[in-house]
Amino acid sequence: MTCDIFCRVVDNFGDVGVTWRLARQLGNEFKITTRLFVDDLVSLAALVPALDPLQASQIVEGVEVRCWPSDDSNEITDTTFEPADCVVEAFQCALPLKYINAMTLRLAAPVWLNLDYLSAESWVAEHHLLPSPHPQLALRKYFFFPGFEQGTGGLLRERDLLRKRDAALPTKPRQRTNQLRVLIFGYANAALPDLLNAIQSASHKTVNASVTIPRGELGDDAIFWQDAKNLPPGDNLCINIEPFVAQSEFDALLWSQDVCFVRGEDSFVRAQWAAKPFVWQVYPTSDGAHLVKLNAFLDRYCTGLEVGAAAAVQELWRAWNVEDAEAIAPAWREFLVNLAALKLHARAWADRLAEQPDLATNLVTFVEKNAKIEGFTRKP
């Protein structure tokens, strides 16, 4: 089998992070010859240091990475470019017109999937794998929705991920230490100074807090806060502004923390596999639709939690997402009060998710079935 994945980098690293992770897994675990077309190789290179953003075509970790050709490019023509058996159009990025035309010339039509954004909303299972015939051409596209329940596309999870996670964690409960480790990976947030104030206030002489923030706008704001506070050496809050890590190193960073603030989609999923208490910052939209996604996941994630622990999660997540400076401090205090229960819940949640097939497995299973049963063959 062959697979072509197309991705446009809209903002940040979420889209390209998901598609790169999928491309690697299809190649490494399923031995599928995979090409990844990306319109911004610089963004991908930040996640994959081995990638040369100046090369239009290259093989990296078993994946052929190509710079996305424009519609007027001669790289894709009806006679010289063979589309793959499976075509993944990531996040409604719209395939090049020449590529679509080339798809119609294949003897057997490709299995064409629109890989959509992750959501916990109830309608996802109903729309997963629904077909959408092309209005003019003899092609059909299927909607492929990631999700948290049976009947959806599932979540990306490499076969050895949980084994690696468990091998990296202590075999015995970590001895009580004098340090709380917090990762804050997020979009710019006006409530950051108040969150840092809350973390500092909740710490004391016997329990220090170590906060790690990647370089960028959020990191710059943290440095400004630290300078304004004029924190003395040995203060009970240590802020570490770290370089942006490669995607291959991100899981280990999550595993080393006590609380993880994450954002978007890729780091959101990885925090769940890390089985750590976490806070999700949804990619903000002007119409407020991101809060609907937030609440849908909270409803699902908090099921089974004791009332106080569930309220602590909901209050901190919502305060962080709406940048409510006044609500951050009390929400953080309640989150810490319930931290032990949240650690147990995070592990139980990850274990339940792991009982379901992962996204790549679901995708390959559908493509193989669809190619044999629903696929159609043109006359030569």
> Which residues are known catalytic residues?
15, 265
Q: Which of 45, 83, 85 is nearest to 370 (CA)?
A: 85
The residues facing 281 across adjacent strands are 263
Q: Which of 290, 277, 91, 93 is nearest to 187 (CA)?
A: 290
**Beta strand pairing status for 237-242 and 259-263?**
unpaired
Q: Where are the alpha helices (DSSP H) in the chain?
A: 14-30, 41-47, 97-104, 124-127, 161-168, 192-202, 217-229, 247-255, 266-274, 289-301, 307-321, 325-337, 339-354, 359-373
Neighbours of 344 (CB within 10 A): 13
Q: Tell me the CA distances in angstroms from 233 to 135, 184, 199, 237, one per residue in order.
A: 66, 22, 17, 10
The residues facing 86 across adjacent strands are 3, 111
Phi first, then psi: give them for residue 362, nearest 5 degrees: -60, -40
DSSP state of 113: E
User: Residue 122 class from Cβ within 10 Å (0-12 exposed, 13-18 middle, 19+ buried)?
Assistant: exposed
The answer to whether 89 touches 141, Cβ cutoff 8 Å, is: yes
Strand order of the sheet with strand 57-60?
57-60, 63-67, 33-38, 2-7, 86-90, 111-115, 140-144, 131-133
Q: Which of 115, 91, 116, 121 is nearest to 293 (CA)?
A: 121
DSSP states of 275-336: T--EEEEPPP-TTSHHHHHHHHHHHHHTTTS-HHHHHHHHHHHHHHHTT-HHHHHHHHHHHH
